């Protein structure tokens, strides 16, 4: 009989193609060998402790062909959605903050430009973004409008004297990568129609004082990623940089479908790291007559629960990935896996934290960092309760948002 593998209990790896397995291996080696030392501080960068995001990571990922990996052409690899999920899982096994930086670049900024941008924007920006030379961000959330982005206040007005130029006013907050982004995809309402449109702001084209991106410091989660605001004051954007076709929330939500799908894979990577760390600790730590605490049933139940949820979560994400590539995935499927995998990863990581006793409080054991990060993953890209309401609406036909 085939032996049981606690790292892949339901044999998900049997579903992947050889190409997907090779991509996963490349991503895993890069993440474990070059990314992990940064978060733990072995390279004295101490990303999590010092809130120090190393931008070089995206350049390295670009060199490996991992950025915007599902995009066909424009210097991107054009791999399957499952392969991109496996990359995301490898990155988040290290830290959700690095996965955030990666998702925003790949799914939200590059994905948005690829789906809705003009050919000129795609040819000019995507290859440089794929190399990690230009960094992107995605500005939807505002100080007064998070779960309800349809009420956004950021506005684009036609320039009073320059034809074909818009002036953007407003502010976005909690924006991953914004302080260091070169390309800022910002969603704003056109003053004359009130319709939401997507604008690609290029930092080097903005006159001084029209675009500010102050960082938000002292976060208690996702400290290895950089987060900030986007403040726009008469920020000029050429009409060519406005997405020509897409209007309304369909624009930002289409980008979010891909990013939310990635989070469903990623959070299971973080949970798998918690399982591995807790299992090792439980085997080594001895209490009561020299027994390893792994011998105790209550500890074993925590590991059994977490391992089961991780295994189910991966298979669900895999299923949606295959359907996505066949054009059969619905946004509700993505809401379901985003909500379930984020919630189960957080709940199980929190339970496994208990296995470490007092040592859980030291950041050297890694578990508290994952717990703090997973709270954020459950909150951004649609808080879990919001995804419950999206599913509730689809099930009953009645919307309960307001």
Lookup: tokens for 80: 């399957």
- The H or E element spanning position 176 is strand 165-176
d(CA 116, CA 326): 20
Q: Is 349 helix (H, G, I), strand (E, B) or coil?
A: helix
Residues 226, 87: contact at Cβ < 8 Å? Answer: no
Contact 230, 63 (CB under 8 A): no
Report, in Å, the least distance between residue 304 CB and ligand TGC.
Answer: 30
Residue 3: CB minimum distance to ligand FAD, A: 40
Coil, strand or helix at 141: coil
* Cα(318)–Cα(16) distance, integer angstroms: 9
Query: Please, where are the H alpha helices in 95-186?
Result: 96-103, 111-116, 119-130
Smallest separation (angstroms) from ligand FAD to the CB of 243: 16
CB of 132 closer than 8 Å to CB of 180: no
Q: How far is CA 270 from CA 56, 91, 119, 180, 367, in A?
A: 22, 9, 37, 25, 10
Q: Which option in ligand TGC, ligand FAD, none does residue 278 bind, with CB closer than 5 to 8 A by kind?
A: none
**Taking CB under 6 A as the rule, does residue 385 contact ligand FAD?**
yes
Q: Which of 79, 109, 175, 303 binds ligand FAD (CB under 6 A)?
A: 175
Q: Which residues contact 114 (CB under 8 A, 6 or more apart)?
A: 68, 71, 74, 122, 126
The window from 10-18, 34-42, 63-71, 373-381 that contacts ligand FAD (CB under 6 A) reads 373-381
382 binds ligand TGC (CB under 6 A): yes
Q: SS3 letters for 187-247?
A: EEEECCCCCEEEEEEEHHHCCCCCEECCECCCCCCCCCCCEEEEEEEEEEEEHHHECCCCC
> Any contact of residue 381 with ligand TGC (CB under 6 A)?
yes
Q: Which does 187 bind (CB under 5 to 8 A by kind): ligand FAD, ligand TGC, none?
A: none
Q: Which of 222, 229, 303, 329 is the binder for ligand FAD (CB under 6 A)?
A: 222
Stretch that binds ligand TGC, among 8-16, 110-118, 143-151, 181-189 (CB under 6 A): 143-151
Closest C-alpha among 53, 91, 97 to residue 222: 97
Mark the segment that binds ligand FAD (CB under 6 A) among 65-73, 139-147, 241-249, 364-372: 139-147
Is residue 390 a contact point for ligand TGC (CB under 6 A)?
yes
With binding defined as CB under 6 A, does residue 153 bind ligand FAD?
Answer: no
**Contact letters for ligand TGC, residues 148-187 (x by CB under 6 A):** xxx-------------------------x-----------
Radius of gyration of the chain (CA): 21
Q: Which of 55, 239, 361, 401 binds ligand TGC (CB under 6 A)?
A: 401
Is 50 among the residues that bind ligand TGC (CB under 6 A)? no
Scanning 81-89, 162-170, 249-257, 312-320 for contacts with ligand TGC by CB under 6 A, the matching segment is 249-257
| Residue 245 burial (10 A CB sphere; 0-12, 13-18, 19+) | exposed
CB of 199 to ligand FAD, least distance (A): 14
Q: Which residues pair with 158 in a beta bridge?
A: 166
Report 256-285 residues binding ligand TGC (CB under 6 A): 256-257
Q: Is 254 in the site for ligand FAD (CB under 6 A)?
A: no
Place of tokens 């397995």: 21
> Which partner, ligand FAD, ligand TGC, none, binds residue 62 by CB below 5 to 8 Å per kind?
none
Q: Which of 81, 88, 100, 258 binds ligand TGC (CB under 6 A)?
A: 100
| Residues 109-138 within binding reach of ligand TGC (CB under 6 A) | 138
Distance (Å, whole) CA 198 – CA 73: 22
Residue 129: Cβ within 10 Å count = 27
Among 129, 136, 379, 387, contact with ligand FAD (rule: CB under 6 A): 379
Q: In whole angstroms, how close is the CB of 124 to ligand TGC at the nearest point? A: 24
Mind telling me the catalytic residues? 381
Taking the complex as a whole, the smallest distance from the CB of residue 368 to ligand FAD amounts, in Å, to 17
In the region spanning residues 184 to 213, those forming contacts with ligand TGC, defined by CB under 6 A, are none
Chain residues that interact with ligand TGC, rule: CB under 6 A: 100, 103-104, 138, 140-141, 147-150, 176, 248-250, 253-254, 256-257, 331, 380-382, 386, 390, 401
Chain residues that interact with ligand FAD, rule: CB under 6 A: 104, 138-141, 146-147, 174-176, 222, 227, 376, 379-381, 383, 385-386, 389, 401
């Amino acid at each position: 009989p085939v032996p049981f593998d606690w790292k892949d209990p339901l044999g998900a790896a049997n579903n992947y193609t050889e190409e997907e397995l090779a991509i996963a291996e490349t991503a895993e080696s890069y993440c474990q060998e070059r990314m992990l030392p940064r978060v733990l501080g072995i390279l004295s960068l101490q990303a999590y402790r010092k809130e120090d995001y190393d931008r070089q990571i995206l350049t390295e990922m670009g060199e490996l062909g991992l950025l915007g990996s599902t995009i066909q052409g424009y210097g991107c690899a054009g791999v399957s959605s499952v392969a991109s999920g496996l990359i995301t899982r490898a990155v988040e096994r290290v830290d959700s903050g690095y996965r955030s930086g990666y998702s925003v670049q790949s799914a939200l900024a590059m994905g948005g430009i690829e789906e809705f941008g003009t050919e000129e924007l795609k040819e000019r920006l995507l290859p440089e973004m794929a190399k990690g030379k230009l960094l992107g961000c995605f500005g939807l959330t505002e100080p007064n409008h998070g779960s309800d982005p349809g009420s956004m206040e950021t506005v684009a007005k036609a320039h009073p004297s320059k034809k074909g130029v818009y002036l953007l006013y407003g502010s976005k907050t909690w924006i991953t990568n914004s302080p260091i982004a070169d390309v800022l995809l910002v969603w704003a309402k056109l003053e004359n129609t009130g319709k939401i449109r997507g604008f690609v702001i290029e930092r080097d084209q903005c006159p001084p004082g029209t675009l500010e991106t102050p960082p938000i410091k002292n976060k208690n989660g996702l400290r290895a990623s950089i987060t900030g605001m986007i403040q726009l004051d008469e920020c000029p954007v050429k009409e060519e940089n406005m997405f020509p076709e897409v209007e309304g929330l369909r624009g930002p939500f289409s980008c979010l479908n891909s990013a939310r799908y990635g989070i469903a894979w990623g959070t299971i990577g973080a949970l798998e790291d918690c399982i591995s760390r807790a299992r090792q600790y439980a085997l080594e730590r001895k209490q009561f007559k020299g027994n390893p605490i792994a011998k105790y049933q209550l500890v074993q139940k925590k590991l059994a629960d977490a391992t089961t949820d991780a295994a189910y979560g991966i298979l669900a994400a895999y299923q949606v990935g295959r359907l996505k590539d066949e054009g059969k995935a619905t946004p509700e499927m993505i809401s379901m896996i985003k909500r379930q995998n984020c919630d189960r990863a957080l709940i199980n990581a929190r339970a496994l934290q208990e296995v470490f006793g007092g040592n859980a409080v030291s950041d050297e054991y890694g578990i508290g960092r994952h717990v703090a990060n997973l709270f954020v993953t459950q909150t951004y890209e649609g808080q879990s309760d919001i995804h419950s309401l999206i599913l509730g609406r689809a099930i009953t036909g009645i919307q309960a948002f307001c």
